[in-house]
Amino acid sequence: MKPTTVTISTFKARCLALLAKVKRTGQPLVVTRHGEPIAQILPPPSGPTRTPWLGSFESTGRIVGDIIAPAAEPRDWEALHT
């Protein structure tokens, strides 16, 4: 696969879009100045994807006791005493 070539002025004007295209297509990009290559942009290496942190402790908890009943008897609450 032949890399796409762009001039440095085009790269400067469209940098973010060109970087997104390299990532999306996986095709390298060569940046030139006066027809001479000065940089090559490569796609990121494909590696293991990160495990999402939401729900990562899903099976680590343990319920001990009644989770619905109040933690203390109503007579123990000072706010209820008038």
The DSSP secondary structure of 25-48, one letter per residue, reads H---EEEEETTEEEEEE-PPPP-P
Domain boundaries defined on the chain? 1-44
Is 0.95 topped by the overall pTM? no
Neighbouring CB atoms inside 10 A of 46's CB total 7
Residue 82 confidence (pLDDT): 64
What are the pLDDT tens digits along the chain (82 aa)?
A: 688 999 999 999 999 999 999 999 999 999 999 999 999 999 988 877 777 888 888 888 888 888 888 777 877 777 766 6
Report the pLDDT value the prediction gives residue 3, as an integer from 0 to 100. Answer: 84
State the pairing for strand pair 29-33/4-7: parallel
Return the CATH fold of 1-44: YefM-like fold (3.40.1620)
pLDDT tens-digit series, residues 39-59: 999 998 887 777 788 888 888
